[in-house]
Chains A and B, each alone.
Chain A
Amino acid sequence: MDSFAWDSINDIAAAVRNRSTSATKLVELSLNLIKDAQPKYNAIILVLDEAARARAKQIDELVESNQDPGPLAGVPFIAKDNFLVLGGETKAASKILEGFMPPYQASAVNALEAAGAICVAKANMDAFAHGASTENSDYGVTKNPYDTSRVPGGSSGGSAAAVALGLAPFAIGTDTGGSIRQPASFCGVVGLKPTYGLVSRSGVIAMGSSLDCIGPLASSVSDAALVLDVMAGKDKLDATTIDKDELGYKDISAKPLKGVKIGVIDEYLSEHVDSDVTRAINQTIDKLTQSGAEVKRISLPSTKLALACYYIICPAEVSSNLGRYDGQRYGFHEPDAKDLDESYLNARGKGFGKEAKRRIMIGTFVLSSGYYDAYYKKAMTVRTKLINEFESAYKEVDFLIGPVAPTTAFKIGEKSSDPLQMYLADVMTVAANLAGVPSISVPVGADSNNLPIGLQIMAGQRKDRDLLSLAMAIEELGK
């Protein structure tokens, strides 16, 4: 893999502030890296070169006039294509939104820009974030940087591949059922899904609103923490946001491991997990124990039901959120439709891809009269059961760990013809979304094909600082 190694985000921003480099140089570097990597990997769906160059010039002028552009001064980043970003179209990798020019920008992107960061490109993804491989993109699959015959994971596959290739120092993604953590695991980068509500979703194309989270993908835990620190906190444009920790998320140091109570989720180390993945997780457990952590197996029986629960709740919310794509105000439309009804049927029938239609129909079914109680309400109640199990577990241990996914990156085409097989790629990540707890993927090794393996760490709600601190300690164990 030809990857570019950036300095830490802190060091890059410091270099811009002390004029040993400039935002313009960094943006040109990132744009060149993207251009070179694009034919082979297809990680990027749109380059925002004009907007990025203009913004870099502004940052450099601030530095010239002795003003501080912020903690991310001049740092290029890549946003998943479901973030509204000014300067180019936003289409969530879907044909139905081709040509859509956002009239405003996502709050998370505004926060990053206000801190001096510069969005250079939009990353490829599964259309509307429906998928675990980026194969559902209407603009072609992204290739895994470690093996181009394999998927990068998904749905934030373009973001993860971009960070692994070093196209920019960090990327942002969305995680509804594992869409940051699973591609991070497949591409060997750090991927963080914070506590539900910690980062504003205003200006991000909605998928499953009780599950959707925004987070960073980066090459180290401290970089991810710094990006989270900039994006986190209440936003008046998103009523579901919560306050950030009063200590913030930067300046976190690796947790001393002695006496830390860690639970290994029993159900996540079943016979369905690849032996290489199990081996890498067990090696990390051994290192944790040798460092004085108190590691024990812990059972969360309802995690076995989490995926079934998720594939009722998520499509239900998808069917509702995608109701707005009707071709009247924006998006794909048929000019020749003879009446209003036909214009809806055409716009949605031709504009949506296969997976979006599949989820809309499942969602429509589980919410329909006569089936609501048996499916949707049942899933919402099993969700309570799962949350209760998490809460009891966190009385015994401070953290839960396990694999991110049962396998490493799979072959392109291996699962794409069977939707249920693709859904099973999310089997270990959906529980954190259902419970709203923070979860992170940290690289801990490679399989016999040299494909990266990620360790998943979960903490209690709003314990994002603690989570990052343990993740840093585990990152150091691997060095």
Chain B
Amino acid sequence: MARLSKDDVLKLARLARLELSEEEVSEYFTELNAILEYVEQLQGEDTSDLKPTNQVTGLINVTREDKTIDYGYPVLDLLKNVPFKEQDQIKVRRMVG
């Protein structure tokens, strides 16, 4: 089965937007391979006649009326943890050149 190289670890970190130090890459290289080796014991199981379980409640299509509900949270309260903002808007860095 899959064995991750150090480049694979870097690629995963990049996909997940995690900046890693060189030391971390070495640690994760060892640890992630050990964890993957452990979870690969599922590969031997015959599950060809089974469907995947996505949820366990059996609830289907939980819906509500399509109208605005006021939960009483003031917008400025909801924004109080935002590091950069202008008036009542979240300010982020430029996304497109």
Q: Show the binding face of A for B, using Cβ within 8 Å.
A: 99-101, 103-104, 196-197, 210, 236, 239-240, 242, 305, 308-309, 311-312, 319, 326-331, 333, 335, 337, 339-341, 343-346, 348-350, 352, 354, 357-358, 360-362, 364-365, 368, 371, 374-375, 377-385, 387-388, 419-420, 423, 435-436, 461
**Given known contacts A305-B42, A309-B42, A374-B43, what 20 new A-B pairs fall within 8 Å (CB)?**
A99-B81, A103-B80, A239-B59, A308-B40, A311-B39, A330-B83, A337-B93, A340-B95, A354-B24, A357-B18, A360-B18, A361-B18, A362-B32, A364-B12, A365-B36, A368-B12, A368-B15, A378-B42, A420-B34, A420-B35
B34 to chain A: which residues have CB within 8 Å?
419-420
Q: Which of B25-70 contact A (CB under 8 A)?
A: 27-28, 31-32, 34-36, 38-43, 45, 47, 50-57, 59, 62, 64, 69
B62 to chain A: which residues have CB within 8 Å?
239-240
User: Whole-angstrom distance between the alpha carbons of A142 and B78 in the complex?
Assistant: 32
Known: A348-B18, A361-B13, A361-B32. A197 touches B39 (CB 8 A): no
How many residues of chain B have a CB within 8 Å of chain A?
A: 53
User: Whole-angstrom distance between the alpha carbons of A345 and B24 in the complex?
Assistant: 14
User: Whole-angstrom distance between the alpha carbons of A436 and B55 in the complex?
Assistant: 9
Is B57 touching A384 in the complex (CB atoms < 8 A)?
no
B55 to chain A: which residues have CB within 8 Å?
210, 240
B47 to chain A: which residues have CB within 8 Å?
378, 381-382, 384-385
Binding site secondary structure of chain B: loop
Partner of B19, one of A103, A242, A339, A348: A348
Partner of B4, one of A100, A360, A365, A378: A365
Partner of B45, one of A358, A360, A382, A420: A382
B71 to chain A: which residues have CB within 8 Å?
104
Cβ distance A227 to chain B, nearest Cβ, rounded Å: 22
Q: Which of B81-96 contact A (CB under 8 A)?
A: 81-83, 90, 92-95
Cβ distance A327 to chain B, nearest Cβ, rounded Å: 7
Is B50 touching A381 in the complex (CB atoms < 8 A)?
yes
Is A210 touching B35 in the complex (CB atoms < 8 A)?
no
User: Whole-angstrom distance between the alpha carbons of A9 and B4 in the complex?
Assistant: 52
User: Whole-angstrom distance between the alpha carbons of A73 and B20 in the complex?
Assistant: 49
User: Whole-angstrom distance between the alpha carbons of A352 and B78 in the complex?
Assistant: 23
A-B contact count (CB 8 A): 165
Q: Show the binding face of B for A, using Cβ within 8 Å.
A: 1-2, 4, 9, 12-13, 15-20, 24, 27-28, 31-32, 34-36, 38-43, 45, 47, 50-57, 59, 62, 64, 69, 71, 73, 77-78, 80-83, 90, 92-95
Is B81 touching A101 in the complex (CB atoms < 8 A)?
yes
User: Which residue from chain B places its CB closest to the CB of A368 in the assembled complex?
Assistant: B15
A-B contact pairs, 20 of them (CB 8 A): A99-B81, A101-B80, A103-B78, A196-B57, A239-B62, A240-B62, A328-B82, A328-B83, A328-B92, A329-B81, A340-B92, A352-B18, A360-B18, A361-B16, A364-B12, A371-B2, A374-B1, A379-B39, A381-B47, A423-B38
B41 to chain A: which residues have CB within 8 Å?
305, 308
Known: A197-B57, A387-B56. A319 touches B16 (CB 8 A): yes
User: Whole-angstrom distance between the alpha carbons of A472 and B90 in the complex?
Assistant: 52
Is A380 touching B54 in the complex (CB atoms < 8 A)?
yes
User: Whole-angstrom distance between the alpha carbons of A210 and B80 in the complex?
Assistant: 30
User: Whole-angstrom distance between the alpha carbons of A312 and B42 in the complex?
Assistant: 10
A348 to chain B: which residues have CB within 8 Å?
16-19
Is B94 touching A339 in the complex (CB atoms < 8 A)?
yes
Cβ distance A383 to chain B, nearest Cβ, rounded Å: 4
Partner of A387, one of B1, B20, B53, B95: B53
Cβ distance A380 to chain B, nearest Cβ, rounded Å: 3
User: Whole-angstrom distance between the alpha carbons of A453 and B45 in the complex?
Assistant: 33
